[in-house]
Amino acid sequence: MGKEVFCLQGQLDFFTEERQFPPDDLPLLTARLRLPRWDGRGGRRFDRYYAAYARAFFSYCRHELLPRATEALALSQQSGGAIPAWHIALDTDVTLHTDRYLSLYTDTVEQTDGRRLVVRRADTWDLAENTPVPLRHLFPVMPMPRRRLLGAVTGEILRRQEQGMAAYHPDWRRAIRAAFSADHWYLTPEHLCLFYQMYTIAPALEGIPVFRIPYDEKLGPRLPA
């Protein structure tokens, strides 16, 4: 028997939802999301994946953020301060969409207690197989690309520092190794984009550091056939 193919047929769409916690006249937390869905045949796995993502997002709001917001309200009432109004938003950016591949990232932005935190998550899909693409598939002749990627990140940080373009923690050489993740990447038409979460290798003003690595047909990264 041949291999079963789950080719997605249709087009990319998005769904949005907003909730308030608690759901009454005095909400302490407003949560909004925008996530992808597949409008067409073969997208059940794709849609289940992002439906689970949405459930996890609202569960985090209810069980993690709302208790903190409630505590902030109690402290504010004791001191006669303003009622806290916290916000969290999850949005999606599509960076590559071809007949074969879809690459995107989501940013979750928390505005809580005067602090702004952005957390990024990325996914790349093989639309012909309806499966996520692992990082190793972009390096067919280099099964362990970590050293090559860290070398590219090191060179780019040194260039940015020399030109005064960005600031990094004093121990960034150790930090880029410790915080490296094979899940923190996405694709554009020209680059593999490797990113680090806020605070891991640079101060908050740098946001989420992104390092763009051009495609290389010999060594990788390159889009798998």
How many structural domains is the chain composed of? 2
Looking up residue 149, the CATH number of its domain turns out to be 3.90.640.20
Is 49 a residue whose pLDDT tops 90?
A: yes
Query: Where residue 225 falls among pLDDT bands split at 50, 70, 90?
Result: low
Answer yes or no: do 45 and 128 share one domain. Answer: yes
Q: Hey, how many other C-beta atoms are within 10 angstroms of the C-beta on 61?
A: 22
Q: What is the pLDDT of residue 7?
A: 59
Residue 153 corresponds to which amino acid? V
Looking up residue 122, the CATH number of its domain turns out to be 3.30.565.40
Centroid of chain to Cα 214: 20
Is 2 a residue whose pLDDT tops 60?
A: no
Q: Which two tokens stand for residue 186?
A: 């996405």
Angstrom distance (rounded) from CA 89 to CA 31:
6
Residue with tokens 């909004």: 32
- Which of 124-128, 138-142, 183-187 holds the top average pLDDT? 183-187
Identify the weakest region by mean pLDDT among 22-31, 61-70, 154-163. 22-31
Q: Hey, how many other C-beta atoms are within 10 angstroms of the C-beta on 206?
A: 17
- Interacting residues of 120 by C-beta distance below 8 A, sequence separation 6+: 105, 106, 107, 108, 184, 195, 197, 208
Q: What is the pLDDT of residue 8?
A: 67
Answer yes or no: do 61 and 105 share one domain. Answer: yes
Query: Where residue 172 falls among pLDDT bands split at 50, 70, 90?
Result: very high
Answer yes or no: do 140 and 50 share one domain. Answer: no
Average pLDDT, the chain: 91
Answer yes or no: do 45 and 17 share one domain. Answer: yes
171 burial via Cβ count (<10 Å: 0-12, 13-18, 19+): exposed
Is 76 a residue whose pLDDT tops 50?
A: yes
Nearest one of 138, 130, 134, 135 to 50, comparing CA atoms: 130
Give whole-number Cα distances, 38 to 10, 16, 43, 152, in Å: 7, 14, 5, 35
Answer yes or no: do 81 and 69 share one domain. Answer: yes
Answer yes or no: do 117 and 151 share one domain. Answer: no
Nearest one of 45, 50, 53, 51 to 7, comparing CA atoms: 45
Answer yes or no: do 120 and 46 share one domain. Answer: yes
The domain of 60 spans: 9-132
Is 5 a residue whose pLDDT tops 60?
A: no
Q: What is the pLDDT of residue 3?
A: 40
Query: Where residue 160 falls among pLDDT bands split at 50, 70, 90?
Result: very high
Answer yes or no: do 102 and 16 share one domain. Answer: yes
Answer yes or no: do 127 and 16 share one domain. Answer: yes
DSSP state of 172: H
Residue 29 lies in a domain: yes
Nearest one of 116, 142, 122 to 185, comparing CA atoms: 122
Residue 143 corresponds to which amino acid? P
Q: Once rounded to an integer, what is the mean pLDDT over residues 132-144?
A: 87
Residue 169 lies in a domain: yes
- Could you tell me which residue, 25 or 169, shows the higher pLDDT? 169
Instruction: Give this prediction's pTM.
Output: 0.91
Q: Where a domain ends, among 97, 132, 167?
A: 132
Residue 2 lies in a domain: no
